[in-house]
């Protein structure tokens, strides 16, 4: 089995690609995989670290409307299309898979031109522009939320398969004890995991300052706050300035990025998250109750729709970014800590939404596309 997989820009497109690729390699004999991304995306950092063959094309994002700027961009990135065609012709894949981000556009388009079976995986309730365009060229569309079906109405129902979003197997296999040991967390305290998506979230980071101050030294709770690479130094500096001594109180851990996120999830009793689709798939697979703060500038406000899909099942509560403050976070956290039944009920409802088998379902779907 030879496969090209493409997806990029943010972790929310890259980790699904890695997970699907690994699952296919597990199921298929003699699998060769090539990952196509861009030099600028996070994939250029993550994919080689994960041990995949990686090549890049040049491509820029399109606006979400018909415009001259888009026409210009298409001309400028024609080189990306030609390079994709050359890559696909040389690699001769049996299947080409896209997991979103504009890098997928030329790659999947090339597969379609060269009559190679292809599929896309859409993580969000509201599909991204690239996947919306690509839908008419690919054989299958694997959707992460049932609600996304409503946005692909012009396609045949059998073309669209609800699979859930793929999560790394370590998300399920990591144990609480391993997580606590790896991250230096105390088994005697509840763990609050705070993550603003793969790039961090400034508004959450800012609001967390007051939360750290309030819970610093608290015996009941410990906080693992992941700031994103760019904001780490300023957040640590702000904490120092506010007189919060992270090292001596011991219950507040601040990290720029976690390469071992599955261990952190395994240890978490409650989470404060943005509402990126993969993060939510990980939370629900583990049944972690969550306070969600959707990123308000995500395309077509799609994070709000992702978050509401959890909230309407009672698996999470949602705070609007514009209403976010230290006080509202402290209040929500304390309300949940003081009501273990409510927390347990959220955890149960979260787990009911989880689809830990999604990666295998998607991998089998991809394998079924291979021509005999």
Ligand X SMILES: CC(=O)N[C@H]1[C@@H](OP(=O)(O)OP(=O)(O)OC[C@H]2O[C@@H](n3ccc(=O)[nH]c3=O)[C@H](O)[C@@H]2O)O[C@H](CO)[C@@H](O)[C@@H]1O
- Judged by the rule CB under 6 A, the positions of this chain that interact with ligand X are 10-13, 15, 100, 123-124, 195, 197-198, 226, 257-258, 261, 276-279, 282, 295, 298, 302-303, 306
How far apart are CB 35 and ligand X at their closest, in Å?
16
Residue closer to ligand X, measured from CB, 198 or 205: 198
CB of 370 to ligand X, least distance (A): 26
In the bound complex, which residue of the shown chain has the CB atom lying closest to ligand X? 12
* Nearer Cβ to ligand X (10/284): 10
CA atoms within 13 A on the CB side of 263: 14
- Beta partners for residue 160, in sequence order: 141
Query: Smallest gap, in angstroms, from Cβ of residue 323 to ligand X?
Result: 19
Q: Minimum CB separation from ligand X for residue 31, in Å?
A: 22
Complex with ligand X: residue 77 or 198, whichever CB lies closer: 198
In the bound state with ligand X, the residue whose beta carbon lies nearer, of 15 and 215, is 15
**C-alpha atoms less than 13 angstroms from C-alpha of 16 in its C-beta half-sphere:** 33
Query: Rounded CA gap, 134 and 97, in Å?
Result: 11
Query: 39 by DSSP, 3-state: which?
Result: coil
- Taking the complex as a whole, the smallest distance from the CB of residue 142 to ligand X amounts, in Å, to 13
Residue recorded with tokens 């992702």: 306
CB of 73 to ligand X, least distance (A): 19
Taking the least distance from each CB to ligand X, the nearer of 233 and 368 is: 233
Give the Cα separation of 78 and 292 in Å (integer): 39
Residue number, 19 or 83, with CB nearest to ligand X: 19
Query: Considering the complex, what minimum distance in angstroms separates the CB of residue 182 from ligand X?
Result: 14
316-318: strand order across its sheet = 252-255, 221-226, 190-195, 270-273, 290-292, 316-318
Kindly give, in sequence order, each residue whose CB lies less than 8 Å from that of residue 22, ignoring residues fewer than 6 positions away: 168, 169, 359
Nearer to ligand X, 91 or 127 (CB): 127
Report how far apart, in Å, the C-alpha atoms of 132 and of each of 49, 61, 115, 121, 152 are.
Answer: 30, 14, 19, 11, 8
Strand partners, 54: 35
Name the nearest CA neighbour of 117 among 76, 159, 155: 159
What whole-number distance in Å separates Cα of residue 161 and Cα of residue 181?
A: 39
Least distance (Å) between residue 128 CB and ligand X: 7
Residue 289's φ and ψ, nearest 5 degrees, are -65, 145
- Closest CB to ligand X among 80 and 98? 98
């Amino acid at each position: 089995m030879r496969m090209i997989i493409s997806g990029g820009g943010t972790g929310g497109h890259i980790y699904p690609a890695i997970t699907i690729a690994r699952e296919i390699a597990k199921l298929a004999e003699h699998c060769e995989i090539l990952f196509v991304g861009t030099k600028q995306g996070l994939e250029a950092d993550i994919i080689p670290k994960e041990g995949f063959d990686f090549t890049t094309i040049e491509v820029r994002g399109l606006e979400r409307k018909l415009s001259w700027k888009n026409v210009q961009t298409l001309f400028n990135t024609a080189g990306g299309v030609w390079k994709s065609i050359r890559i696909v012709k040389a690699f001769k894949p049996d299947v080409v898979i896209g997991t979103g981000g504009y890098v997928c556009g030329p790659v999947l388009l090339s597969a379609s031109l060269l009559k190679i079976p292809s599929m896309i995986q859409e993580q969000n309730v509201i599909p991204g522009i690239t996947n919306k365009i690509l839908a008419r060229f690919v054989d299958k569309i694997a959707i992460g939320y049932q609600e996304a079906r409503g946005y692909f109405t012009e396609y045949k129902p059998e073309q669209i398969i609800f699979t859930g979003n793929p999560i790394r197997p370590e998300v399920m296999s990591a144990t609480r004890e391993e997580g606590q040991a790896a991250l230096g967390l105390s088994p005697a305290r509840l763990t609050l995991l705070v993550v603003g998506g793969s790039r961090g979230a400034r508004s959450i980071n800012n609001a967390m300052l007051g939360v750290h101050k309030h819970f610093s030294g608290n015996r009941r709770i410990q906080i693992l706050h992941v700031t994103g690479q760019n904001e780490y130094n300023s957040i640590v500096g702000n904490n120092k300035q506010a007189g919060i001594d992270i090292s001596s109180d011991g219950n507040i851990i601040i990290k720029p990025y976690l390469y071992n996120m599955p261990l952190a999830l395994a240890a978490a009793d409650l989470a404060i998250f943005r509402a990126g689709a993969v993060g939510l798939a990980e939370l629900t697979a583990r049944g972690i109750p969550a306070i969600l703060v959707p990123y308000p500038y995500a395309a077509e406000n799609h994070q709000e729709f992702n978050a509401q899909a959890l909230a309407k099942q009672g698996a999470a509560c949602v705070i609007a970014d514009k209403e976010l403050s230290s006080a509202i976070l402290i209040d929500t956290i304390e309300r949940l800590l003081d009501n273990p039944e409510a927390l347990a009920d959220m955890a149960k409802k979260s787990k009911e939404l989880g689809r830990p088998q999604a990666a295998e379902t998607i991998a089998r779907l991809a394998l079924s596309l291979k021509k005999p």
